[in-house]
Structure 1
C-alpha cells in the first residue's frame, strides 16, 4: 500500500517539479543516537541521520538530502516501536517544535546528552581531556521555563486530518451554499520550517499557571471582540506576540506586542485581563510596525506595575526587564552557576573577569568568593541592568563595562583594574570569536571557566586554547529537559 502511494506521489511530483522524487527506505532498524536530536541507521553501508525516531524503532524513512556516504531523512511510518519509548505527555507532540524528546524517558535523555558532549569534545576538539563528571540532570522536567513567547497568527495550522474533515464538510454543503471562509486564527508556536503558520496551543507544559489560562483567555477575548491577528505575509494585523516572564518569587510579567497602537481596544483588553488575573504583577505593551518580531530595538511601555520582575538565585536578587537576558530555567541556572563557581576555585583574593556577562548574573553569583568582579558585555542595556543588580545586592566589589572584550582588555585597562586571575566566559551558541580566543591566550589568566550552550563550538575553542591551557574539569548540565540542547562547563588551567 505504501509503495503504491509513493509511486503515485512520485509521478505527480515529477509532473510538477522535474528531478524531485520521494525516496522511501522501508523497515529500517534505528541503531543509535547521533546528535542534535537525530538518530542513526545504516543501509547498504550508507549512514542515515533520522528525525523523529529513537534507537530500537523500526521505521520507513523518507529521504531528504542524500550524498554518497550519508543521507538525512525523517521517519514517516513505524512498523514497531523501541522498548526505550514512553508515552508523550503533550497533545501537540510531533507537531510543535519544542520538547521533541518526550517519547524518551528522562534518564535516557540525559544519558544521550552526556554522550553527545563527550563525542563532540573528542571528535572536534582532538585534545587530551579529563574524565567527564556525570551530567547534572533537572529535578523538574515540566513547567521549568521562566520565559515564553507566543505568536498571534491569522493562519492556524491545520493537520492533515483537519483538512480532510474540512473538505468533507464543504462537499456536503447544499449546492450554491458558500463555505465559511472566516480566518481560523491561532495563538501559539510557529510550525517548524513553515514561517507563516502557527499551532494553536491550548496546554503548554513548559511554564506553570497562569500561563495557559492567560493565553487562552486573551485568544478567546480577541476572537469575541473581532481583534485582528497578525498576517506575516501581508504584514497586517493588530495582535502580534505575547511574552511571559514568571519567577520563583511569584511575579508575573506579560508583554503584548501590537502591530500599531489602538488605544480603545488596548484599554478594553488590558482592563479585562487585569480583572481576570490579579496574579499579573506587571503588564506592558510594545508597538512593532516592523516586518520582524524582535523587540530589542523597540521600547516596551509599562501599563501596570513596575515594568520588571525580580528573580532570585540563592540569596542574590536580579531585576529582569522585558528585554533582559536571564537564564530561562531558574532552578537549573542556579545549578549551572554552582558548577561554574566551584570550577573557578575562588579563595577571596582573585580578580575575576566575567566575559559576555549579560546582566551580571554569573559574576554576582561568584562575588562572595572574589576580591573584585569585572564584567564586560557588548550590549549597553545589559550592562546598565548589571550595575543595578549589583547595587540591589549591596555589592561594592563589582564593575561592569560595555564594549568588545578585544578593545577593552588592553594594558591601560589592566593597569587600572588589575589582570585577571580567573576568567569566566559564557558566549552564545556560535562560541567565541577567534580574535577573542587569541586575546585570552595573550592575557594568560591562570584559570579560565568556559560555560557553553553548544559543546560543538566549545570543542573548537578548546582546541585553540590548548596552545597554552590544559582542560582540568568537565561538567554537563541539562537546562532543557525533553530537548536535545545541553550546556557544558569546562575548567582550564594555564600550562606551567
Structure 2
C-alpha cells in the first residue's frame, strides 16, 4: 500500500514571530493555520515551501528571505543548515536565551495550567561553542553529497565519511570538516582516525547493507583535561585494528583512555557490549567542588560540565537543606546530584533502574568518602512502598531528574502519597514537566522556577522547579 502523498504549498510573505518546540520558527498563514518553519529566525519575512499540511498547521522550510531579522547572525560553522545539530546558530545567543525562557514559561502556563511565580532569568552558558564533553561520530562508505557535488561533473571516488547523521536520514552521514561543539583535540582526533583508517584500507561501515568494519567513534573530555576515545568495529580484523589503535596512541600519547568494542549487532548502542581497554585506563575523571566522578564509556554525565555545576548548585539551593533532612534522589543515574548535596543533608537515597549506574554511584561515593549517600536499584513505579520508607525513613525533600518523557503517572501518585515537604524537579523537557506539575498541583505549589541553558545553538534547555507542600 503506497503512502499518501503530501500536497506541497508555497506560502509567501510570512512574518516569523516566534521560535518554539523542536527549534522551529513560527508564523501564521493567511488561512489562519500556524506554520512551523525550518531555517528561519523570528523577525524574518520568508517564503515557505510546506512539507506537511494538517487541519491546524503546516510544516515547511524557508526557501527565501525577503526581509532579514535583526536577530540574525552569520553561522559560525560551515556545516550549518546541513548538519542539523545546531539549528539556532543563525540567531544571536541573547535571543536564543529569550526564546528558551519564553517556551518554558508558555509550557508551564499553557500545558500545566498552574499558578506560577515570576520565573528567574535563564542562566546562560559562558561558552557558546566548544562546550560539550561528549561527541559521537559515525563512519560511512557512502557520504552525503552536497547539491554542488551532485550537480558537478566531477567523479567522487572517495565517499568515506566520519561525522553526523543527516536529520531524518538514518543511513546518510555528513563528512565533517570542523565541529564547533567540543574542544580540541576532538577535531584533530576525528580527522586523524578517519585519515589513518583510510590509509590502512579498513572499510568504513555501510548502515544500509551492514557491511564494513569501522562503525562509530566516541570522544569524551573532562574539566580535568582527560580524554577518552572509543572506536566501535562492526567485526574483528585483529591486525588492522591493532595497527589503527597503535597509530592513535603514537599520535596522541597523552590520551587517558583508548577503548574499543566489536559490535556486530543491528544497532550501535554500547550498553550490552563488552568494552575493551587498549591503552591507558578504562575511565576518565570529572571533578566538581572537590568531588571526583569516575566516567566510563557507558556512564551518563551531563554533557556541559560547567553548566552542570550551575544546575546542581541551583538544585541544592532550591532544596534548602540544613543538614537534618532525609532526601530521596529519583532517577539518580550515577549519583552525581546525590553526592553533590550529601554534605548538606542527613541522608540521601538515590534510586535508579539501571544496575550499572548504581554500581558506579556506589563506587564514586566510596572514592569521595561519602557515607550518608545510599543507592538503590529499582523501578521508580514500584520503589515507594512501606518497606522502602521504613528502611530509609520518610523523605523531607525529593529531588527528581527524569528522562525527557517525564515521570510515570504511578511515580507522581507515589509522590503525592509520600507527601514530602519539598520537591525539586529538574527537567530537560518543560512540556512533560508541565504535565507532571499539573498532576502534583493538588498538594504542591510551584514557588521557584529557574531555567538553565546547557546547549547553546540549540533549542534544548533544562529547567529547575521548586514545589512546596500547600
Alignment TM-score > 0.5, same fold: yes
Provide, for residues 336-355 of structure 1, a one-character-per-residue CA deviation record: whole Å limited to 9, x for no partner.
00000000000000011110
Matched, 1:251 2:226: yes
User: 1:228 is matched with which residue?
Assistant: 203
Matched, 1:87 2:78: no
User: 1:6 is matched with which residue?
Assistant: none
Matched, 1:158 2:145: yes
Mean Cα displacement is larger for which, 266-275 or 49-58?
A: 49-58
Post-superposition shift, 1:300? 0.7
The equivalent position to 1:213 in structure 2, one of 171, 178, 188, is 188
Alignment of 1:429-448 (within 5 A): 429-448=404-423
Distance 1:21 1:118 in 2: 35
Provide, for residues 258-299 of structure 1, a one-character-per-residue CA deviation record: whole Å limited to 9, x for no partner.
001111111100111111112311100011111111111111
Distance 2:154 2:295 in 1: 49
Provide, for residues 174-209 of structure 1, a one-character-per-residue CA deviation record: whole Å limited to 9, x for no partner.
xxxxxx7x4501000000011111000121111111
Mean Cα displacement is larger for which, 318-327 or 96-105?
A: 96-105
Unaligned stretches of 5+ residues in structure 2: none
Post-superposition shift, 1:306? 1.4
Distance 1:421 1:397 in 2: 15
Matched, 1:169 2:170: no
User: 1:185 is matched with which residue?
Assistant: 160
Provide, for residues 14-34 of structure 1, a one-character-per-residue CA deviation record: whole Å limited to 9, x for no partner.
xx9985543211232222323
- Aligned alpha-carbon RMSD (Å): 1.4
Distance 1:222 1:301 in 2: 19
Post-superposition shift, 1:78? 2.1
Structure whose CA Rg is larger = 1
User: 2:37 is matched with which residue?
Assistant: 50
Is 2:381–2:408's contact at 8 Å kept on the other side of the alignment? no
The equivalent position to 1:283 in structure 2, one of 243, 246, 258, is 258
The equivalent position to 1:487 in structure 2, one of 462, 465, 470, is 462
User: 1:176 is matched with which residue?
Assistant: none
The equivalent position to 2:124 in structure 1, one of 112, 137, 147, is 137
The equivalent position to 1:65 in structure 2, one of 52, 63, 66, is 52
Alignment of 1:113-128 (within 5 A): 113-128=100-115
Is 2:6–2:51's contact at 8 Å kept on the other side of the alignment? no
Distance 2:295 2:6 in 1: 50
Matched, 1:329 2:304: yes
Alignment of 1:369-448 (within 5 A): 369-448=344-423
Change (3 A) 1:19 1:294: closer
Unaligned stretches of 5+ residues in structure 1: 1-15, 171-179
User: 1:457 is matched with which residue?
Assistant: 432
User: 1:74 is matched with which residue?
Assistant: 61
User: 2:340 is matched with which residue?
Assistant: 365
Provide, for residues 26-56 of structure 1, a one-character-per-residue CA deviation record: whole Å limited to 9, x for no partner.
2322223233311121222222111110112
State the secondary structure of the residue aligned to 2:144.
Answer: coil
Distance 2:293 2:192 in 1: 30
User: 1:173 is matched with which residue?
Assistant: none
Distance 1:77 1:227 in 2: 43
Distance 1:233 1:285 in 2: 23
Change (3 A) 1:17 1:433: closer
